[in-house]
Structure 1
């Protein structure tokens, strides 16, 4: 069941529940723009959805995996860590600023230094989450329907 996070208070309670994303990692992401080309080759060239779904896996029994769905996405900025370093999340930042919701893969990021952070930043107008513990493990879950 999806649970919306609309206020800073709801986000703060969620962060307590999942221990600030401690000992977790971004497993996969899926973006849906809403644009498409139909079978007759006509195109709907507008970003009507702008939805990013992020699968995060955690080293905890109660919620071992969760999905965050960011809708009305404003932007995503990623700087994937190279294979010589770990990409584990020790803590995360999750806050509302000027009516937008920000999630960052580091707990030291604040609203006044968000533009200088060189890690993953997701910014959207809406966010919801669900327990996705059934999506634990190394298999890819967001894959082509042809696989």
Structure 2
């Protein structure tokens, strides 16, 4: 499963067509990491670079490219807003754009970069964006790690 890099608006348009604009999809899970750490001697190591990355797994109701994974590198903004109790989490369409050196993904086609919080929806911006088809990753199985029952208490 090789990663495909998005470079410009043409790549974005091709990707959005391939994945149906995220119509009838859901954000299944995500995983975030950076280069910060504390070693065994409790020394802290911090990066001064945009080193935060996020992998996001989306699944959709379609036979072709039914699951994809996005990899955001160099995260500048990360806003995930779960749906309220009693609301479904279906993504009916999303926005993906490249502006002033950043990629933006938002779960709402009407989302505006100049008014990002006008409609409270999940959105991410990053310096780099990659994708790959993971259509074999359908269903409820967790792909980024499972908490043991004793860990979740």
* Structure 1 unaligned spans of 5+: none
Structure 1: how far apart are the matches of 2:40 and 2:133? 36
| Equivalent residue for 2:93, pick from 91, 94, 104 | 91
Aligned pair 1:128/2:130, yes or no?
A: yes
* Structure 2 unaligned spans of 5+: none
Does the aligned pair in 2 maintain the 1:35–1:47 contact within 8 Å? no
Residue 8 (structure 2) aligns with: 7
| Deviations, residues 50-90 of structure 1 (Å, cap 9, x unaligned) | 10110101111111111000000001112210230111111
Normalised TM-score (structure 1): 0.91
TM superposition shift of 1:42: 1.7
Normalised TM-score (structure 2): 0.88
Structure 2: how far apart are the matches of 1:47 and 1:40? 21
Which aligned runs of 4 or more in structure 1 are off by greater than 2 angstroms? 45-49, 110-117, 144-147
Q: How many correspondences in the alignment?
A: 147
Which secondary structure state, in structure 1, belongs to the residue aligned with residue 41 of structure 2? coil
Residue 107 (structure 2) aligns with: 105
TM superposition shift of 1:115: 4.4
Task: Let me know the Cα RMSD of the aligned residues.
Answer: 1.9
Residue 24 (structure 1) aligns with: 25
